[in-house]
């Protein structure tokens, strides 16, 4: 007889293993060997990573923040998972949306509140389009709940549920993981609900829990069952052709905001872009490859937006003397232009205060859970 565990279909067999559901599912079930307790693979972070891989997610879209850095370490350690850093949370959310449309399910990882509220529009869009997107948020230290402390990344209140309440209306399931005992159950229920209802889900994970092993993460996982999703190829091709035709006829198919608006309005602001090639603040808290970004030619980007219309002057400076000269030019000969000065800074150019602050935040985030 078949046995059902929550929303997951499993079939017990004589050798004690769990076999895949019938072949009506599109995605195959992943059979991995149980990992030993206290190994680097029996942690909450690796459990989540494995479960994402098992439902067909091979790319996760992320923006680092101090509450999710350790979790990101465990995601990139999973062989079948590729972490894609995005410029902002909204981009990450829309990338996961597009991934879900193409692959059946998508996932994104952001940080608490400042990242969660930023990604919210994309998740709401996925909800309206019936797309299973797993939105993972690195949450506060599990010890901080109920302490009436006011933390950074909040809206200045000791209540940490603001983000959760926002997601309740645009996700079909919400899991706030604050202890290890039921973490595997909460994660598995969230993912299976997303697949069953074809809607986004919200998973918040305490920043101090991702690296901790637990016996429940070393068990043979129950395989997920993915129902078949049929695509109307002819309809899809027709839609793509119609969209391409519409964009090709458009006079202004893409409109850049901010700088283009300043140029159009004839503003003569001076814009400084400090380019240090990555997330220096996050590096001082917890370093990792996700803190290094692909650099752009920002002055060329502004020149492209300028496109010979309006008054614009751009320059790139590497030394203090060049910066002084650029400021003098912007306030003198080019004072009637929109001036864009890109300041190239070393990635480790930071203050003593920031170094000390990073150490304190790292220590606070990594406090082990209090005894239950």
Reported pTM: 0.74
Q: What is the pLDDT of residue 19?
A: 34
Q: What is the pLDDT of residue 337?
A: 94
Per-residue 3-state assignment (H helix, E strand, C coil) for the chain: CCEEECCEEEEECCCCCEECCCCCCCCCCCCCCCCCCCCCCCEHHHHHHHHHHHCCCCEEEECCCCCCHHHHHHHHCCCCCEEEECCCHHHHHHHHHHHHHHHCCEEEEEECCCCHHHHHHHHHHHHHCCCCEEEEEEECCHHHCCCCCCCCCCCCCCCCCHHHHHHHCCCCEEEEECCCCCHHHHHHHHHHHHHHHCCCEEEEEECCCCCCECHHHHCCCCCCCCCCCCCCHHHHHHHHHHHHHHHHHCCCCCCCCCHHHHHHCCCCCEEEEEECCECHHHHHHCCCHHHECCCCCHHHHHHHHHCCCCCEEEEEECCHHHHHHHHHHHHCCCCCCEEEEEEECCCCCCCHHHHHHHHHHHHHHCCCCCCC
Over residues 341-355, the pLDDT tens digits come to: 999 999 888 889 999
Residues of the chain with CATH 3.40.50.970: 39-217, 234-364
Report, as ranges of residue numbers, the positions in the chain whose pLDDT lies below 70.
1-38, 40, 221, 225-231, 247-248, 250-254, 256-258
Over residues 175-222, the pLDDT tens digits come to: 999 999 999 999 999 999 999 999 999 999 999 999 999 988 887 767
Q: Which CATH superfamily is domain 39-217 in?
A: Thiamin diphosphate (ThDP)-binding fold, Pyr/PP domains (3.40.50.970)
- CATH, domain range 234-364: 3.40.50.970
């Amino acid at each position: 007889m078949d046995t059902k565990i929550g929303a997951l279909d499993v079939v017990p067999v004589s050798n004690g293993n769990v076999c895949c559901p019938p072949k009506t599912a599109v995605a195959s079930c992943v059979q991995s060997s149980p990992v030993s307790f206290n190994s680097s693979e029996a942690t909450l972070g690796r459990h989540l990573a494995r479960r994402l891989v098992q439902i067909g997610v091979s790319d996760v879209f992320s923006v680092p923040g101090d509450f999710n850095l350790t979790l990101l370490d465990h995601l990139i350690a999973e062989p079948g998972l590729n972490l894609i850093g995005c410029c902002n949370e909204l981009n990450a959310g829309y990338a996961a949306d597009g991934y879900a449309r193409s692959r059946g399910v998508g996932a994104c990882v952001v940080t608490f509140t400042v990242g969660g509220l930023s990604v919210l529009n994309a998740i709401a869009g996925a909800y309206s389009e019936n797309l299973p997107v797993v939105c993972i948020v690195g949450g506060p230290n599990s010890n901080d709940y109920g302490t009436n402390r006011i933390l950074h990344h909040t809206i200045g209140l000791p209540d940490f549920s603001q983000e959760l309440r926002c997601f309740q209306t645009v996700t079909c399931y919400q899991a706030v993981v604050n202890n290890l005992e039921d973490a595997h159950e909460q994660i598995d229920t969230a993912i299976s609900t997303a697949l069953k209802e074809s809607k986004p889900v919200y998973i918040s994970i305490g920043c101090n829990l991702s690296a901790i092993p637990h016996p429940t993460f070393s068990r043979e996982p129950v395989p997920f069952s993915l129902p078949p999703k049929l695509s109307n190829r002819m309809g899809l091709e027709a839609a793509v052709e119609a969209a391409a035709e519409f964009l090709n006829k458009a006079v202004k198919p893409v409109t850049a905001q901010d700088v283009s608006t300043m140029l159009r309005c004839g503003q003569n602001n001076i814009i400084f872009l400090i380019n240090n090639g990555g997330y220096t603040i996050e590096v001082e808290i917890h370093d990792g490859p996700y803190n290094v970004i692909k650099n752009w030619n920002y002055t060329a980007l502004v020149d492209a937006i300028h496109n010979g219309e309006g008054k614009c002057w751009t320059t790139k400076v590497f030394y203090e003397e060049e910066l002084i000269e650029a400021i003098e030019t912007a306030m003198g000969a080019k004072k009637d232009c929109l001036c864009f000065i890109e300041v190239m800074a070393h990635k480790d150019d930071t203050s003593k205060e920031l170094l000390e602050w990073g150490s304190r935040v790292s220590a606070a985030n990594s406090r082990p859970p209090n005894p239950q």
